[in-house]
């Protein structure tokens, strides 16, 4: 009996074409750039958050694991919670200046941006 791994088949429910091949996820994740080559933006965001402010870090290019590690460092050094979603780091509260300093100390090219 063949294993029906439906998670590997994307965007198709059924096909009558006998030569049809299912699309599979490609695990081609781009290499993380060196910190000095990253162009990170630090901004304050209050939209759709019930009036609460979060500091948002965007522009990271690289592996998700490296982004999560950077997010963990920022949240730990600020002493607050947050998350890493869709290529962005969210840190609870207004920590733009502190995060900017931390990123520059880590060797990243970062600057404040309007949000």
Summarised one tens digit per residue, pLDDT across range 84-95 is 988 899 999 999
Q: Kindly report the pTM of this predicted structure.
A: 0.71
| The total number of residues written for the chain in this structure | 115
Q: How many CB atoms lie within 10 A of CB 13?
A: 6
| Residues 94 and 53: beta-carbon distance below 8 Å | yes
Cβ partners under 8 Å of residue 105, min gap 6: none
Summarised one tens digit per residue, pLDDT across range 2-13 is 566 666 656 656
Summarised one tens digit per residue, pLDDT across range 20-70 is 776 665 555 577 778 888 889 999 998 888 889 999 999 998 888 999 999
| Residues 90 and 17: beta-carbon distance below 8 Å | no
Of residues 51 and 77, the one with the higher pLDDT is: 77
Q: Tell me which DSSP letter residue 101 carries.
A: H
pLDDT of 81 strictly over 80: yes
């Amino acid at each position: 009996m063949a294993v029906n791994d439906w998670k590997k088949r994307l965007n198709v429910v059924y096909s009558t074409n006998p030569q049809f091949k299912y699309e599979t996820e490609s695990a081609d994740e781009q290499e993380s750039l060196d910190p000095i080559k990253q162009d990170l933006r630090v901004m304050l965001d209050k939209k759709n958050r019930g009036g609460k402010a979060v500091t948002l870090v965007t522009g990271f290019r690289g592996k998700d694991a490296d982004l999560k590690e950077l997010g963990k460092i920022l949240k730990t050094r600020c002493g607050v919670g947050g998350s890493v979603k869709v290529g962005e780091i969210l840190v609870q509260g207004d920590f733009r200046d502190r995060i900017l300093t931390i990123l520059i100390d880590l060797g990243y090219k970062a600057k404040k941006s309007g949000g």
